[in-house]
Each structure stands twice: as C-alpha cells, then as structure tokens.
Amino acid sequence: MDKRLDLSLGNLRKACATLEDPRKPGGNTKHLLFTILAITLMAVICKCKEWDEVEDYGKGKQAWLSTFLDMKHGAPSDDTYRRLFEALEPTKLEEVYRGWVQPYVATCLGKQVVIDGKSICGAGHWDEGHRLHLLSAWVREDGISVGQLATDEKSNEITAIPTLLETLEISGSTVTIDAMGCQTDIAQCIRDREADYVLAVKLNQPTLHEEIREYFEWAVTDSIETKSLDVNEEYENSHGRETLRRTTVTNDVCWFESKDKWGNLRSFIMSESFTIINDKISHETRFYISSLEADAKRHADLIRGHWSIENQLHWRLDVQFGEDACRIHKKNGATNLSLLRKIALAILKSDSSIKASIPRKQRLASFDNQYLTRLLRLGE
C-alpha cells in the first residue's frame, strides 16, 4: 500500500474536523478555517514565505481552488491569513498534524527518534533581542517530523523536552538528544515512556564528562579492561578528505557513583573522529551515555543518525523553504507556519510520481495544477 495515501489533503481535512476556530463567533469569518489552512499549505508547498505572497497565490489560483474549496467569498486577504494564524493555538494545530501523520509513521518501535532544536533567524521578539526556538522530534527511518514545541530560548529546551516527549508515542524506540538534553529527569522521562536513550555528554555535566573521559583514557591502555570494550571502526575517503571514525563502548558502569540517578544507565560511549585534509590531521572526541547494552556498531549508527535531522529537516526548511528568511514573527504565526512547512516537506518527500529534487517539485507545484492535484491526491 502506498503510504502517501495518508498524506492526502482529504485526510488532512478529516484530521482538522475537531480543530477549533480561534476567531470570534459572529465576527468577520466569511472564509472557512479549512479553506484558509489549505490555501496556506499549498502556497507553502510552492515556497511562499510571507502573508502577502500567500494572498497572491490564493488570488492567482482562485478559479482552480474553487473547484474543491469553499471560495464563495473569493480569496482571503493577507490580513485574514495573518489574524487566523496569530490566533490559532500551536498545540491545537500540532495535535492535528500528529493525527495526520500517525498512520504514515504507524509505530516508533525499533526506530530512532531524534530530538533537536532550531532557532528561526527571522522570527522572534526583535525588541527583546531573542529569536523563536523550535524543538522538533524527527523519526529517522521515516524521514518525517512527528512533533514540535516552541520555546523562547535554547536554554528552555531542558524543560521543553519532557513536555514534547509526553505528546509522542515513542515506546520501543531509541531517543537521541544532544548535550542540552543530558539531564537525569530527561533520561528517566524517556525510560518511563518505555524507550531507550543515547545522550551526548559535554561540559554542562562536568563531573560526568570528566569521569567518562578518565575511564576511557585508562581502559584503552589497560590490558585487562580493554578486552571488555566493544570497538567499531569506519573509514571514509571522499574528495581528498580521509576520515576514520572509531566508536568504543563499555558496559562497565557499576563504578560510577551516580549511576542510579540516570534511568537504567547501561553503557558509556566514546566516539572519535580522525580526519586528514591536505596532510593535516585533526582529532575530535565526544562522549555519550546510553540505556542500551554495549554494541559499538549500533551506537555508531545512532550517533551518526542523529545528525539526519540537520540535513534532512533543518537544512531543507532554511534553504528550500526559506524559513530563516521569513519575517513573520508575531504571536503564534511563526510557530504555526513552521509546522505547515514540515507538512509541506512531508508531502513533497513522500511523492514518488516523479524523480525530482524538492526544489523542482516546488516549482512544478507552483505552475502545474495537475501535478499539485496528484501531490495532494485531490478528489480521493
């Protein structure tokens, strides 16, 4: 069965059935909520970034849009889009999104769930000097975001991560988070959700970082202890850049006095990268903790897989959807629009009707109504 069937506009309409309209009853609400959402989503697919661009898209495509949307009052103005998305509670739209993608993802059992944050450069409270920061949950195997939560600053990720995890069905998965998420409460939260974790350890946990570093410095040179280590090495040579990645894992964590504070802590990981460029050698070492048993190959895959969110989600949102260049920043507008970009990206990525890049699909969608009809499975 084609999984893309779950990402049709028709199924999105069904998911929106319980979405409460934030506009005041009896006010100027001549345009239906779903009509506004649908036009905005299609405009975002076609790389529109600002409300006036969405207005132009709706007016330019009005004749075609009216064949499947309620357009008896014409195309909405930019102010109509702005007012709705500023008033719409992001958590409510997020619930709709999760319900829409759940059949696509099905289950996270055996999958990697990457938790990572991204600041939107153009969005935020400019007069207060900080930007909107969005925390996202990314299912690596499906290549799709399954949740997001807005925070005012990156430092608030510590409290936001458990809140985001509570909204997700992550049972049986392995959750990977960078050093900001290396907190005892977060580790326990993941275990309480019946998932495993791999958490990066840096100097925000100075004692833990130093004890792991000292352990591996001793273990790799001790003739007895080194036999208990599991090691995986991967070599890569590309474009004049030679890289050796070595992952070393141990189950010997009993000596760590604070072990019981970290939910089901089972292993320590040392990840080393040796790179040669123009005969110059660089060496980088990172440390991690995990609730998984020692398996160097699996941990190496999870550590590298964590960065899939950067090039498959964050990079695409910035480069292919112009997220950082978008100047929409008031109230809930930026958060809701970011979620629509994730929906648009999921639709474009899931389309296998043509072999083309995301930018090419965006261009086709912008001028070829038949392609956009196929993309959204209109009429099904």
What contacts 68, CB < 8 A, 6 or more positions away? 378, 379
- The percent of residues in the chain predicted with pLDDT above 70, rounded, is 93
- 119 and 202 inside one domain: yes
The pLDDT value recorded for residue 237 is 87
The pLDDT value recorded for residue 109 is 93
Say what the alpha-carbon torsion angle 32, 34, 36, 41 is, to the nearest 10 degrees. Answer: -170
Domain that residue 18 falls in:
3-102+330-376
**What's the pLDDT tens digit per position in 239-255?**
778 999 999 999 999 99
Q: How many other CB atoms are there within 10 angstroms of residue 98's CB atom?
A: 18
**Contact in structure between 296 and 311 (CB atoms under 8 Å):** no
Q: Please state the rounded mean pLDDT for residues 165-172.
A: 92
Give the C-alpha separation, 335 to 337, whole Å: 5
The pLDDT value recorded for residue 238 is 80
pLDDT band at residue 11 under the 50/70/90 scheme: confident
- 77 and 120 inside one domain: no
- 205 and 276 inside one domain: yes
Amino acid at 359: P
pLDDT at 338 over 60: yes
The pLDDT value recorded for residue 328 is 83
Give the C-alpha separation, 212 to 197, whole Å: 17
Q: What is the CATH number of the domain that holds 111?
A: 3.90.350.10
Q: Please state the rounded mean pLDDT for residues 22-27.
A: 78
Q: Please state the rounded mean pLDDT for residues 340-349.
A: 91
The pLDDT value recorded for residue 244 is 93
**What's the pLDDT tens digit per position in 260-313?**
999 999 999 999 999 988 888 899 999 999 999 999 999 999 999 999 999 999
274 - beta bridge partners? 244, 283
- The percent of residues in the chain predicted with pLDDT above 90, rounded, is 69
Global pTM reads: 0.89
Total count of domains within the chain: 2
> Of 103, 197, 198, which is closest to residue 146 (Cα–Cα)?
103
- 177 and 123 inside one domain: yes
Does residue 155 lie in a domain region? yes
Phi and psi at residue 231, in whole multiples of 5°?
-125, 140
Give the C-alpha separation, 148 to 16, whole Å: 18
Q: How many other CB atoms are there within 10 angstroms of residue 278's CB atom?
A: 6
- 179 and 271 inside one domain: yes
- 51 and 35 inside one domain: yes
